Structure 1
Amino acid sequence: MKEAVLDRVNADPYAKFLGISVDHVGEGEAKASMTITENHMNFHGAANGGAIFSLADVVFAIASNSYGQTAVGINVNMNYMRAGMLGDTVTATATEESKNPKLGLYRMIVKNQHGELLATADGMVYRKKEQFA
């Protein structure tokens, strides 16, 4: 199943565009990273919140789909704690907090290369009947 999820992520044009690389996939967990480039910056000179959100969303998708059952996000709440800066290597992890046949709750943590907390997020998925692996 890990390979099926990785195949889908590696074919994701948006993740490729952002420069996201997947570092780890396990059942109910994932880790990915990206380097903040000029294209990720906002007019305040910091990483755009959407770029940080997108990284967290990728690990959310990987972790929630890691069982080979189609899971789709139905809610995400993001908390920004610190700005990402140009050149930062930003890493996001997702951990499954709760899973039942229809719903899953995940916690995402985003940190920079110094281990400083940039953002946290909680996301919920709905598990469809379809299997893809």
Structure 2
Amino acid sequence: MSPQELAEACAAALWNDDSASQRLGMVLDRIAPGTAVLTMTVTDQMTNGHGTAHGGYIFTLADSAFAFACNTVDQRSVGQQAAITYIAPAFKGDRLTAAGREVSRKGRSGVYDVTVTNQKGEVIAEFRGHSRTVKGTLLGA
């Protein structure tokens, strides 16, 4: 299996059990070794008292992109630590894109950056996640 085929198989297995991402209307747009792109439209239920997208939903989108990016080699990886910096507000109806990429993967630890943008290409948030591999595989082989 090529690295791309492995990444696609791992993403399919992870997606099958990811009810949080699915129920929030996220779409897995692209997967490749060490990278993932997910999109989500901000709904009325995702807005806060300021009339902007609640930061928790933006974080969740970025965290999902991080999860898919760090699980492309069939070794279960989980988030060990993550931080987000909000750059600009998002609003109801905005289509957000979270593009995650591997910065480093050594031993059991990985570092991943995710940039969240809106449909105009404006940066909404920057996220950095640290992953840790755990026992098991996604494909069960």
* Common fold by TM > 0.5: yes
Instruction: Say yes or no: does 1:69 pair with 2:75.
Output: yes
Q: Once superposed, which parts of structure 1, at least 4 consecutive aligned residues long, lie more than 4 Å away?
A: none
For 1:88, the equivalent position in structure 2 comes to: 94
| Alignment RMSD | 1.1
Q: Secondary structure at the match of 2:76?
A: strand
In 2, the alpha carbon distance for the partners of 1:80 and 1:87 equals 18
For 2:137, the equivalent position in structure 1 comes to: 131
For 2:3, the equivalent position in structure 1 comes to: none
TM-score (norm 2): 0.90
Structure 1 residue 76 displacement after superposition: 0.3
Deviations 1:2-51 (A, max 9, x none): 22322322431111121100000111000000111111111110000000
Aligned length: 133
Q: Secondary structure at the match of 2:136?
A: strand
Where in structure 2 are there 5+ consecutive unaligned residues? 1-5
Structure with more strand by fraction: 1
Where in structure 1 are there 5+ consecutive unaligned residues? none
For 1:24, the equivalent position in structure 2 comes to: 30
Deviations 1:33-80 (A, max 9, x none): 011111111111000000000000001000001111011101001000
In 2, the alpha carbon distance for the partners of 1:59 and 1:118 equals 15
**1:1-133 → structure 2 map (5 Å cutoff):** 1=6, 2-133=8-139
Identity rate, percent: 34
